[in-house]
Amino acid sequence: MKMKPAFLRYNAICLLSVCCVLLPPVLEFVQTGGPPGSAGLSAALLTGCILLLLLPLSEESPDGSFRFALLAGIASLAAALAGLPGRMRVLALLLVQTGYLWFRNQERYEDLWPLFRPSRVWNNVECHARDTYVMALFMLAAFFPGPGASAALRWAYLVLCGLMYVLLSLRVILGRTLLLSRRKELELKELVRGSLRNAPTLVENRSEEMGRMQQLYDRVHVLMEEKKPFLDYEFTIADLAGAVFSNRAYLSKTINVISGRNFNQFVNGYRVRYSVDLLRRDPFLRVIDVALMSGFHTVVTFNMAFKLNMGETPSRFQERLRLEWRTAQQSRAKAMSAAGEKPDGHP
């Protein structure tokens, strides 16, 4: 199954981060003929941290992140080949990190209306968390040990850099900020989902424009419920616009304003609800089969969308359904036994 370009770019940035951690020490070993020093290892770990902080957040496009990550990766490897000191390599990449934050802020505040959408609550939390990690990274880089630092200080600094890289890696793997408790993050996501579910009723016909948007959104909702075009994993906003006799730009704006989601999030919401129905009917289906039958092109996207919408993974949800099914079967068997009936229902 083919992955979407967004996930390919996301994974490419993660892979680039690993390469920037591993390759500079290898190059240093080849150039010097000895084991890499603590300064080179610290610089490599900080470079990996910078690249992990270039990953896009939930509502950010991956294109800008990929361009900045590619620039940072090439600069890091070129500096390592040129034999530049670790401190200089880190400072150069911090300039790339600063440019990236400036780019994201320009993108974020280009249109003020989306900032007030319910879906931005979680995105704001992610942005604050990223800014906090960037500040911590700048502080760590500011104390990069010089040539005259003691060996103990240099190795202690290396341990701190390693801990920072592990922390940021866990943040990516778990999909969490790690600055809030897991319970608090789930509460925030549930609050956002609740607001999104209620969003259409909050948007009343306050103007002629909003009235037209609501009518278009209602047509979209009927189409999605009755025709279920989202079951095709290649379903696009152009397909939806043609089906409801609208244009892509206006339809995209309508979905954003009324539902508080972008097109992919909106469609995945229907797919997740369909997958829940499939699992309720047969909790013993394979997760990959449920994903494909629901319109997802990979299990990865299915797991991410399911967890975002339901607050738990499909496997965990399936385990609960299986337990309920077995409990119901046992209760039914006991009731039939007490009534003197055979399992097939005949006395």
Q: What is the pLDDT of residue 203?
A: 41
Please give the CATH superfamily to which domain 265-347 belongs: Homeodomain-like (1.10.10.60)
Name the residue with higher pLDDT: 275 or 345: 275
- List the one residue out of 215, 149, 168 whose CA is nearest residue 18: 168
Whether 252 and 217 have beta carbons less than 8 Å apart is answered as no
Most confident of 2-11, 122-131, 140-149, 290-299: 290-299
**pLDDT, mean of residues 185-201:** 61
Q: What is the pLDDT of residue 58?
A: 75
Q: What is the pLDDT of residue 163?
A: 95
Q: What is the pLDDT of residue 347?
A: 38
In sequence order, the 6+-apart residues with CB closer than 8 A to the CB of 36 are 24, 25, 28, 29
Give the Cα separation of 43 and 91 in Å (integer): 10
Whether 310 and 272 have beta carbons less than 8 Å apart is answered as yes
What average pLDDT is seen over the chain? 84
Q: Where residue 199 falls among pLDDT bands split at 50, 70, 90? A: very low
Name the residue with higher pLDDT: 337 or 78: 78
DSSP state letter for 230: G
pTM across the whole model: 0.56
Name the residue with higher pLDDT: 184 or 113: 184
Q: Where residue 225 falls among pLDDT bands split at 50, 70, 90? A: very high
Give the Cα separation of 197 and 14 in Å (integer): 33
Q: Among 195-199, 288-292, 297-301, 319-323, where is mean pLDDT lowest?
A: 195-199
Region label for 187, one of left (φ > 0), alpha (ψ between -120 and 50) or beta (otherwise): alpha
Q: Where residue 195 falls among pLDDT bands split at 50, 70, 90? A: low
Q: What is the pLDDT of residue 113?
A: 53
Number of H helices, E strands in the chain: 14, 0
Q: Where residue 116 falls among pLDDT bands split at 50, 70, 90? A: low
Q: What is the pLDDT of residue 271?
A: 94
pLDDT(32) > 90: no
Q: What is the per-residue pLDDT across 66-98, written as a single tens digit (0 to 9) for each?
A: 899 999 988 888 888 887 888 888 988 999 999
Largest Cα–Cα separation, the chain: 91
Q: What is the per-residue pLDDT across 228-242, written as a single tens digit (0 to 9) for each?
A: 999 998 899 999 999
Hey, where are the domains in the chain?
5-183, 206-260, 265-347
**pLDDT, mean of residues 38-47:** 90
Name the residue with higher pLDDT: 205 or 118: 118
**pLDDT, mean of residues 263-271:** 92
pLDDT(188) > 80: no
DSSP state letter for 175: T
Q: Where residue 294 falls among pLDDT bands split at 50, 70, 90? A: very high
- List the one residue out of 162, 91, 104, 92 whose CA is nearest residue 131: 104
pLDDT(24) > 50: yes
Give the Cα separation of 185 and 209 in Å (integer): 35
Q: What is the pLDDT of residue 193?
A: 62
